[in-house]
Structure 1
């Protein structure tokens, strides 16, 4: 079963909405930076999930850059 982020990315790819994917990636990157700056709690699991989300988003962007679908 696909994860929520995979479904979201697939939706944006099918709509050819590069801006939404770029915004989603930037939001995840900002969240990661904010969490890395915090102290007093172990955010490793959350950061790992965010990094996995970014990988899925970048795969969607790469799919949009790929050869034309026929």
Structure 2
């Protein structure tokens, strides 16, 4: 996983910016769909990396949800 996505998620969590985290996750999901639609090139490692980034984003969203319910 890229350290950059971790820092971005941390920033959004600290700002309690759920909308931006949701948008970031949606953008990553669209990117995976676009890569899976490509033919003639192997995007497996790229898709795997993006899936790992989605996990980081969803972890941030879960932390944000936990903080808002307190």
TM (norm. structure 1) is 0.91
Q: Give the direction of change, closer, same or farther, for the CA distance of 1:23–1:67 in structure 2 (3 Å limit).
A: closer
- Cα distance in 1 between the residues matched to 2:26 and 2:67: 25
The alignment of Structure 1 onto Structure 2 pairs a total of residues equal to: 68
Question: Runs of 5+ in structure 1 lacking a partner?
Answer: none
Deviations 1:21-49 (A, max 9, x none): 00000000000000001000000010000
Question: Runs of 5+ in structure 2 lacking a partner?
Answer: none
Deviations 1:44-64 (A, max 9, x none): 010000000000000000000
CA-based RMSD of the aligned residues comes to 1.6
Deviation at 1:67, TM superposition (A): 4.3
Q: Name the SS for the 2:19 alignment partner.
A: helix
- Cα distance in 1 between the residues matched to 2:34 and 2:41: 13
